[in-house]
Structure 1
Amino acid sequence: MDQPFTIGGLTLRTDMRPADWAMATARNFSDNVVGCLVPPIFAAYARVFHPALREDGERTEEVSWAEVADANGRLTHPAMQWPSITGSWRFLFSDHQPGLWDTPPREGSLPVRQAARLARILAAYTVIPEQCWFAVWEGFGGLGLPVENEEIPRMEMPARSMLLLSGPLSAATTSLSEPSWLDQRAGLWWPRDRAWCVATDVDLMTTYVGGTDECIATLVADDELEVMKVSADHRLGWDGDSLNPPPAGQRP
């Protein structure tokens, strides 16, 4: 490219060296654990739950996983999975539970309010919030990036080929899709000092963060996010919930 490609506050990069550390340390995708998404080099890890939504007249309200679990007689715990706390596979991407929730948690992209809140908290845990790296899966539909240009290097994370961008931490809320209402944000972001790392896989309804013990404790204690502490060995799949019964039948 003759000129740098920018979108919002982010600039597309062709030098992959800032991402070498993540590509070199992430675990094999077949392990199906947090360490496949967030490099297993941090002192502590957290799981950020994407909220479901409830339509109340003209208002839209967020519904926590804890509220859904309690209403369905299920247990709230760090490894809970959406099909297990709702009791049915059909609630994965459609349908609803009247009066409880109308739209399931967003899959593959951290909702904008949660992204903004997470960025504000994490700003205190890096000395250079103005210099961060962001990676987005090249397979997202509607990306407003030159994904067809094979000359642009990719960040090769386990089972995910990603485009690398840079910008200030505040750009974590930037939608990289066109039209912007598709709302597809970067799935991996970290500051230049690698003090923490955030990952949202394209197939998951939750986001994972690695950082210091203090950083993760702050996230867990925050009353504007639904966060629970996990480990780098925390399982990612629907079968990771060992406390709630799995839904009957086969996953569609």
Structure 2
Amino acid sequence: MNDYPPVDRLPAPQRYGSLRVQTSDLGPARWLTEHAAGQGNFGTVAGVAAPGFDAYARVLHPASLDERPVRWAAVAAAYGCEVGPGTRWHEVVGMDQGYNNASEYGLPGLWDEHPAEGPTPLAVAQALIPVLARHTGTSERCWFGLWHGYGRWDFGHVPTFGTPERDEVLLAGTLAEAVSPVSLDEFAELPDLWWPQDRAWCLGGDVDLVSTYVGGSRALIAELLAAPELETYPVAPGDSVG
């Protein structure tokens, strides 16, 4: 497990945005820990978004131009390639052919910032929430995991639950409150993991990834794949996340 010392960190808050930090009972996360044990690893879709669902989707974090979102497909078209379920960003811009490629730094008029690494970006999360809400009966009671290694807060004395390669602080709140940490400041990370009380789906991201993964019913994944605000692809639980 990653364990970074709480150097120059602020005391752990009781609330992370509007989400309540759980300091005793980690029971709501037990199913996630038990499912993850012995089933795949961090390098797979199921290792990020939990195994056992009927279908999965990969949601790409957009690149940007002047802080406006840019789809991977638009960038790929400019470089004469296509994006598929397993495509990596470095493949889209030709960085797999060496770091001397000018595409590492953007393409004037098309993109100037790489996709954001880490938990789900705010705009993507805001597009996901109404879709996810339609596929759970408990959107007013949801649970979240926040990697305790993010640098600002000292969660050293807060109990954590384990997922592949990560220790997570358990948070509680409504689905709509998943984006509330942005009220702290522009650098506050959203939770890495989201799931409703009825466990109808699970959303997973990670500090090292430029995609978010969602496991759920076939109906949910079909709606995500059709959502015009999102750039999504179907994936399998054993697929690599890169």
TM-score by length of 2: 0.87
Cα pair 1:45 1:230 within 8 Å, conserved: yes
Candidates 17, 20, 35, aligned match of 1:8: 17
Aligned to 1:165: 171
User: Match for 2:176: what amino acid?
Assistant: S
Candidates 14, 26, 33, aligned match of 2:44: 33
Aligned to 1:205: 210
SS for the counterpart of 1:115 is: helix
Aligned to 2:58: 47
Shift of residue 171, structure 1, vs aligned partner: 1.1
Aligned to 1:243: none
Counting only pairs closer than 5 Å after superposition, residues 66-215 of structure 1 correspond to structure 2 as 66-88=73-95, 90=99, 95-143=105-153, 146-149=154-157, 152-175=158-181, 180-215=185-220
User: Match for 1:220: what amino acid?
Assistant: L
Instruction: Show structure 1 runs of 4+ deviating over 4 A.
Output: none
CA distance in structure 2 between the aligned counterparts of 1:110 and 1:214, rounded to whole angstroms? 21
User: Match for 1:203: what amino acid?
Assistant: D
Cα pair 1:131 1:167 within 8 Å, conserved: yes
* CA deviation string 1:25-73 (max 9, x = no partner): 123426x210111221000000000000102xxxx32110111111111
Cα pair 2:64 2:111 within 8 Å, conserved: yes
User: Match for 2:146: what amino acid?
Assistant: V
What runs of 5+ residues in structure 1 fail to find an aligned partner?
A: 238-252
Cα pair 1:141 1:177 within 8 Å, conserved: no
CA distance in structure 2 between the aligned counterparts of 1:48 and 1:148, rounded to whole angstroms? 31
CA distance in structure 2 between the aligned counterparts of 1:135 and 1:141, rounded to whole angstroms? 15
Cα pair 1:7 1:176 within 8 Å, conserved: no
Aligned to 2:71: 64
TM-score by length of 1: 0.83
Cα pair 2:19 2:178 within 8 Å, conserved: no
Cα pair 1:9 1:171 within 8 Å, conserved: yes
Shift of residue 174, structure 1, vs aligned partner: 2.4
CA distance in structure 2 between the aligned counterparts of 1:28 and 1:221, rounded to whole angstroms? 28
Shift of residue 155, structure 1, vs aligned partner: 1.1
RMSD of aligned C-alpha atoms?
1.8
User: Match for 1:201: what amino acid?
Assistant: D
CA distance in structure 1 between the aligned counterparts of 2:241 and 2:183, rounded to whole angstroms? 26
* CA deviation string 1:161-199 (max 9, x = no partner): 010000000011122796x21131100000000000000
What runs of 5+ residues in structure 2 fail to find an aligned partner?
A: 1-12
* CA deviation string 1:107-158 (max 9, x = no partner): 0121111101101111011111000001110111124xx4132xx2101111
Aligned to 1:23: 33
CA distance in structure 2 between the aligned counterparts of 1:165 and 1:142, rounded to whole angstroms? 17
User: Match for 1:84: what amino acid?
Assistant: E
CA distance in structure 2 between the aligned counterparts of 1:177 and 1:95, rounded to whole angstroms? 31
Identical pairs, percent:
39
